[in-house]
Structure 1
Amino acid sequence: MSPLDSLAAALTQRKQQHLYRSRPLLESAQGARVCVDGKNYHNFCSNDYLGLANHPQVIAAFQQAANDYGVGSGGSHLVCGHSRLHHQLEEELAAFTGRDRVLLFSTGYMANLGIINALVGKQDAVFEDKLNHASLLDGGLLSGAKFQRFLHNDVASLAKKLSASTATRKLIVVDGVFSMDGDCAPLTELAALAQQQNAWLMVDDAHGFGVLGEQGAGCAEHFQLDQQQLPILMATLGKAAGSFGAFVAGSEVLIETLIQFARPYIYTTALPPAVAAASLASLAVIRDDRARRQKLQHLIGHFKQQAQAQGIALMPSDTAIQPLLIGDSAKALAISQALAAQGFMVGAIRPPTVPNNTARLRITLTADHSEQHINDLVVALAQIMAELC
């Protein structure tokens, strides 16, 4: 069998297992209603939780910065790409998260690879929740440190592994809000355990930043953890912030270490300045417009109530990520396709994104939705599940 034939066989196998992925062609701005492949849908699979990706203030800031700075940044942050807008965004994010400093990265995936690999190596150990995002798992595996996974949200499981470790440095890594389950990590207990075991705690707050906390500062604010308790706080700007990129917040020493040793930061062209300007504008909305978070929280409660009334058993989650466990990949895909036929975009999440036999519908809510949008989705979902399940 030739190399290309072996690739084709792997693709065929993936199709047969109902695990093949295709790219929907988006033909509109993000929102509660989108046009995909020429058809309009109610959008229940976006991570634009606060509806800021198409916010007029964010768009205006992007356009003005593009006029002032052009499009490309021209180089890495350490060469000639670090603009005043990048620097201002780092300073405002540091103040917003209550940390000494912030460092911008081009993507969350790059941030996680860069942070973990800059902090631990062969003499060290990294401990990760079994349901961590792929970028965190890859970062741990690539670091060369002894890589250990503990049971999901099981502090006792982690404590046992930490106590047995003789590593020079110990790094605990978790999602703040787990992207496929929607539940939160027990950060208060994890922070206490990390201090007891002289370990670092790193949290990927991609799905909490902008949404959780009174001010929207995310998991650290929600659990009231300061920089000493949660020394490595990473979050993305492409979800609730409606922009693009990622950042890590922490101490002066942490940020300077990453500038010197985080390869995905050093060797990557900086984000376009206009993207930083858009993020500054979205950060202002997050700070000033609490009504968006309040509306989102109301809609989460409304969706759970309506689902319960229709006998739809959701996985336990109080966040904007509301998963419905199906189990079988073919069935999850069939339900997603049936929803699409009725005008609802809901992603069917299948292995390897989730463990085998845990395929699910990942329903995400945003502040752009209305109660009527949710009511219509739940009615359609109940009808389809009655037919297919």
Structure 2
Amino acid sequence: MTRAGLSPLAWLDEVERQRRADGLRRSLRTRTPVGAELDLASNDYLGLSQHPAVIEGGVSALRTWGAGSTGSRLVTGNTELHEGFERALAEFVGAESALVFSSGYTANLGAVVALSGAGSLLVSDALTHASLVDACRLSRARVVVTPHRDVAAVEAALAARTEERAVVLTDSVFSADGVLAPMRALHDVCRRHGALLIVDEAHGLGVRGDGGRGLLHEVGLAGAPDVVMTTTLSKALGSQGGVVLGPTVVRDHLIDAARPFIFDTGLAPAAVGAAWAALEVLIAEPWRAQAVLDRAAELASVCAVDERPESAVVSVILGEPEVAFGAALACLDRGLRVGCFRPPTVPVGTSRLRLTARASLTGDEMTLARAVLTDALSALA
């Protein structure tokens, strides 16, 4: 058959066949407004997405500002609500300024690309979030990917560089296994070599640090002039959106140079209002941050995970994709929804159940989780 007779999408049939053979085919799982299962898969770490005050914050913003922001923040999409929330969040985490984006993904794209570019070096941990990986690809900078949490490799890359500018990228809490970045050591290396440190606190905000102020605050790097923090509003704050926090000069530069900020419609007012309300709940109830870690420790104990979790994430490595997927389905059949991470999200041979603790888990819910997880994991022995 000539090329003219072939569908330009015919190659997808073979791709899907191979994915199914490898146990890596994904599908969307629809949930109802009132979940029938106990959820240990979401990133709603503080249990705030359904909090009455948070919902009211979104509704109030919706009534005041309308359903959409109506345009780019440089045109009509910048409101008093956006700027008020930016000031409140910056004060909370100890940053000089903040700039809200439409998502955590676009916040990372905007920050990394605008602060690097051709003629600079990006040094990125091998397990950084996909948004940071994509930012590296878009940056036109030279990129060095270092082994996971390997500070010596970061130092070697910085020491060997010929570029004038360098940026080091890391998650504060790595999303697949919940471990922490060696933050102080990374910063020390960056300072010795005149490099900027960009830290994605998506899984640190609300969980680590005094009252949930993040890992940067916990290790004494909040407000450091050579550190930029990014985060999302869709996890601990239970809403939607992303933020870049750091020196005012960075905020000013991003407004001029960050394409995901300049050309994207501003975050919807309802999302901003809900996130601000969630921040106020966290400030008033700082116990929520420690409650997440305590619940994570209980889940780890049930699953015979040796080390106490450092975040809301409990990673139960089972090996092959089919094993992990089967265990996740067994839990779902018993009324417990858990995450299932398979390649390429995690390395080959490390497919896993990914459990996420929540500050609002009740005693009855923990009893159910304990029973279901014990049975599902015992069946694999």
Q: Give the TM-score, by structure 2 length.
A: 0.95
Structure 1 equivalent of residue 3 of structure 2: none
RMSD: 1.5
Cα drift, residue 92 of structure 1 = 0.9
Distance 2:225 2:151 in 1: 16
1:32-181 maps to which residues of 2 (within 5 A)?
35=35, 40-181=36-177
Amino acid of the structure 1 residue aligned with 2:331: L
Single out whichever of 70-79 and 284-293 deviates more from structure 2. 284-293
Runs of 4+ in 1 over 4 A off after TM superposition: none
Amino acid in the other structure paired with 1:270: G
- 1:318 is matched with 310
Q: Residue deviations 1:329-364, cap 9 Å, x none?
A: 111111111111111111110011111111111000
Q: C-alpha displacement at 1:383, in angstroms?
A: 2.3
Per the TM alignment, residue 107 of structure 1 is displaced from its structure 2 partner at its CA by 0.6
Which of 254, 258, 261 aligns to 1:262? It is: 258
Aligned counterparts, 1:203-352, within 5 A: 203-228=199-224, 231-307=227-303, 312-313=304-305, 317-352=309-344
Native 8 Å contact 1:315 1:325 kept in 2: no
Question: SS of the residue aligned with 1:183?
Answer: coil
| Bigger mean CA offset, 218-227 vs 189-198 | 218-227
CA-to-aligned-CA distance 1:200-232 (integer Å, 9 cap, x gap): 000000001111111211111111113226520
Q: Determine helix, strand or coil for the equivalent of 2:184.
A: helix
SS in 1 for 2:168: strand
Matched residues in 1 for 2:305 and 2:63: separation?
Answer: 50
Q: Does 1:25 align with 2:21?
A: no
In structure 2, distance between residues paired with 1:61 and 1:375? 32
Gaps in structure 2 of 5+ consecutive residues = 1-5
Shift of 1:260: 0.5
Structure 1 residue 50: deviation in Å?
0.3
Q: Which amino acid aligns with 1:161?
A: A
In structure 2, distance between residues paired with 1:16 and 1:314: 33
Mapped contact 2:23–2:321 kept (Cα < 8 A): yes
Secondary structure at 1:85's aligned position in 2? helix
Q: Which moved more, 1:102-111 or 1:224-233?
A: 224-233
Letter of the 1:225 partner, please give it: L
Q: How many residues align?
A: 376
What SS is found at the alignment partner of 2:76? helix
Of residues 181, 193, 198, the one that matches 1:197 is 193
66-75 or 229-238, which deviates more: 229-238
Partners of 1:325 and 1:12 in 2: CA distance? 26
Question: What is the Cα deviation at residue 385 of structure 1?
Answer: 2.5
Contact 1:76 1:82 (C-alpha < 8 Å) held by counterparts: yes
TM superposition shift of 1:130: 0.6
8 Å Cα contact 1:128/1:150 also seen in 2:
yes
The superposition leaves residues 137-193 of structure 1 with CA deviations (integer Å, 9 ceiling, x where unpaired) of: 110121111111111111111111111111121000000000001001010111111
Counterpart in the other structure of 1:31: none
Offset of residue 315 of structure 1:
6.7
Label 1:152 to 1:229 Cα distance change in 2 as closer, same or farther (>3 A): farther
2:222 & 2:356 partners in 1: Cα distance? 29
The code of the aligned residue for 1:326 comes to: L
Which residue of structure 2 lines up, in the alignment, with residue 354 of structure 1? 346
Equivalent residue, structure 2, for 1:6 = 11
CA contact (8 A) 2:72 2:78 kept: yes
Give 3-state SS (helix, strand or coil) of 1:102's partner: strand
Q: Distance in 1 between matches of 2:326 and 2:270?
A: 41
Q: Secondary structure at the match of 1:58?
A: helix
Residue aligned with 2:283, SS: helix
Shifted more, 267-276 versus 376-385: the winner is: 376-385
Q: In the TM superposition, what is the alpha-carbon distance from 1:129 to its structure 2 partner? A: 0.6
Query: Which residue identity is paired with 1:369?
Result: L
- Cα distance 1:313–1:278, how it changes in 2: closer, same or farther (>3 A)? closer
Unaligned runs of 5+ residues in structure 1 are: 29-33
After TM superposition, the structure 1 stretch with the greater mean CA deviation from structure 2, 91-100 or 165-174, is: 91-100
Q: Is the 8 A contact 1:209 1:235 kept in 2?
A: yes
Identity across matched positions, percent = 36
Letter in 1 for 2:166: K
Q: Kindly provide the CA deviation profile for residues 278-313 of structure 1, in whole angstroms up to 9, marking residues without a partner as x.
A: 111111111110222232232122223333xxxx33
The CA distance in 2 between the partners of 1:196 and 1:45, in whole Å, is: 40
Secondary structure of residue in 2 paired with 1:180? coil
TM-score, normalised to structure 1, is 0.93
Q: CA deviation at 1:314?
A: 5.5
The aligned amino acid for 1:169 is R
